[in-house]
Amino acid sequence: MPTILDGNQVRDRILRDLLPRAEAFAATGRAPGLAVVLAGNHDASEIYVRHKVKAAAELGIVSETLTPPASVTTKALLALIEDLNQRADIDGILVQLPLPPQVDARRVLLAVAPEKDVDGFHPCNVGNLVVGRPGPRPCTPAGIMELLRQYGIAPGGKRAVVVGRSDIVGKPMALMLLHAHSTVTICHSKTADLAAVCREGEILVAAMGRPAMLTADHIRPGATVIDVGMNRITDAAEANRIFAHAPDKLAKFARKGSLLVGDVDPQAMLEKAGAYTPVPGGVGPLTIAMLMTNTIEAAERHSGRGTAPHLTEPRTSGSGPPC
- The residues annotated as belonging to the active site are 52, 96, 119
> Which long-range contacts does 184-192 make (Cβ < 8 Å, 24+ apart)?
184/160, 185/159, 185/160, 185/161, 186/162, 187/161, 187/162, 187/163, 188/163, 188/164
Residue 315, helix vs strand vs coil = coil
Closest CA to 159 of 221, 222, 223, 202: 202
- The string of DSSP letters for 42-87 reads -HHHHHHHHHHHHHHHHHT-EEEEE---TT--HHHHHHHHHHHHH-
Residue 117, helix vs strand vs coil = strand
What are the Cα distances from residue 132, in Å, to 78, 118, 198, 215, 217? 30, 17, 26, 34, 35
What are the Cα distances from residue 33, in Å, to 84, 85, 106, 123, 134? 11, 12, 24, 23, 21
